Structure 1
């Protein structure tokens, strides 16, 4: 993994009576079932990874809201929907960058969970059906907060601050994107250069489409020159001291990360 440091057409005709109708607003949430997706349909859906762009995925309605800490892992390929009972928009795979996929839940309804996604555009979300046993649910007690104005990263566990470090963040031309995201994967380079570990986030550079051959995924990673910490000097990634990287490496995947300006 490489990281970056409408038309006005007339409405369609009503479907025939034999077509499945979308749930009405009065339908109780527990009665909303996922639209059936055939294997052929699933094969045509984009895979929600850091390399993908999900043009039909809904955006996070509360990009600076507090996540609950609930995280989910798909046991197999899981269809992502635009809304409970709505059309499919992508597929969530069980692995990301060779690590198990864990994503945070930001909204729930009976049998459904709205999750943050690791793909472009930033702040993409989707709904997965949780009522069929296809996902494993856990909770992360950790939180990571990055204050861009103060150039500082703080780590919390069960509401208690366990670490605070000066860090390097993006420049005006290559800013670190703000909003809530999450720890997507832990990547150890085969031949480390400036960092032994990259903690990829579910966010991308807004200024760069690619970086070093990758999709410009934002990451938390180490940096050998301590003079960089406390400054705006990166390509968008958050450069952290060695002690911070060690502490962050123990944080579960899927843990929410809040980046504020």
Structure 2
């Protein structure tokens, strides 16, 4: 399996598409993500035709999808397999089932890479970036439909210890004291993944925003976006080691630089 290229997994260029720029601005508004929470229900039919597929909700960080299973092993580490749909693909609750959403090939101005949590012949069950947290779905693995790779890196966040750890091939390559969600706006726990890498168009308190495929459990919207949780920097080092954010994880400068090297789709496991 090929490893994601630097182009596939690295920062969106500073000439961001409008959606990515808006998301970066929303994430930066208060140190966390935000926006309108969008409801979406199942659509009828089997594998959708083009017009039918267009009516299905897209599985993005801005949407809520229903009728799909939740992750049954929310603190497990998968084998590192990540996939990128070469074109939008239908998402079902079971292999061969009725599509209820579409996973687009791009998210926030960059390629969509999602982790595989289960495989069956011709099908992959993946973590999705939508609400509810830890929602999963089955996508077809037809010849030529997916780019398949393996990430050797895992990001771990320990809420209680306020610690961020990055592992590569099971070896710890760095650990840092970070700031996590406050009691009323906690950082959600469980298994998620690195969704995107956004470089703000204008100078701000963080040169890079790294959204993950999880959302605040207490805020439906924040700062004009969908409450997306992210890693980002912070200029005041006194916050590190404290529970003070709206759900995001604020990290030191060297931690952010190391996180920037983690391939998109890599698992992020947050424990209490």
What range describes the TM-score normalised by the shorter chain of this pair?
A: 0.7 to 0.9
Give yes or no for the alignment of 1:251 onto 2:262. Answer: yes
Structure 1 segments, 4+ long, off by >3 Å, are none
Measured after TM superposition, the shift of residue 210 of structure 1 is 1.2
Partner of 1:123: 134
Find the structure with the greater CA-based Rg. 1
Partner of 1:200: 211
What secondary structure, in the 3-state scheme, does the structure 1 residue paired with 2:244 have? strand
Give yes or no for the alignment of 1:106 onto 2:117. Answer: yes
Measured after TM superposition, the shift of residue 89 of structure 1 is 1.2
Q: Which 5+ residue runs of structure 1 have no aligned equivalent?
A: 6-19, 21-34
Measured after TM superposition, the shift of residue 132 of structure 1 is 3.3
Partner of 2:233: 222
d(CA) in 2 for partners of 1:171 and 1:67?
29
Residues 156-180 of structure 1: per-residue CA shift (max 9 Å, x gap): 1111110000000001100000000
d(CA) in 2 for partners of 1:79 and 1:86?
10
Partner of 1:147: 158
TM-score normalized with structure 1 length: 0.87
What secondary structure, in the 3-state scheme, does the structure 1 residue paired with 2:255 have? helix
Residues 88-126 of structure 1: per-residue CA shift (max 9 Å, x gap): 011011110001100000011111110000001111100
**Structure in which a larger fraction of residues adopt helix:** 2
Partner of 1:138: 149
What secondary structure, in the 3-state scheme, does the structure 2 residue paired with 1:42 have? helix
Q: Is the contact between residue 47 and residue 90 of structure 2 (CA under 8 Å) also seen in structure 1?
A: no
Partner of 1:241: 252
Q: Which 5+ residue runs of structure 2 have no aligned equivalent?
A: 1-22, 34-44
Larger displacement relative to structure 2 (80-89 or 240-249): 80-89
What secondary structure, in the 3-state scheme, does the structure 2 residue paired with 1:233 have? strand
Q: 1:87 aligns with which of 87, 94, 98?
A: 98
Give yes or no for the alignment of 1:165 onto 2:171. Answer: no
Measured after TM superposition, the shift of residue 36 of structure 1 is 2.6
What secondary structure, in the 3-state scheme, does the structure 1 residue paired with 2:53 have? helix
Higher RCO (C-alpha under 8 Å, 6+ residues apart) = 2
Alignment RMSD: 1.2
What secondary structure, in the 3-state scheme, does the structure 2 residue paired with 1:43 have? helix
Partner of 1:53: 64
Partner of 1:188: 199
d(CA) in 2 for partners of 1:237 and 1:169?
6
Give yes or no for the alignment of 1:76 onto 2:87. Answer: yes
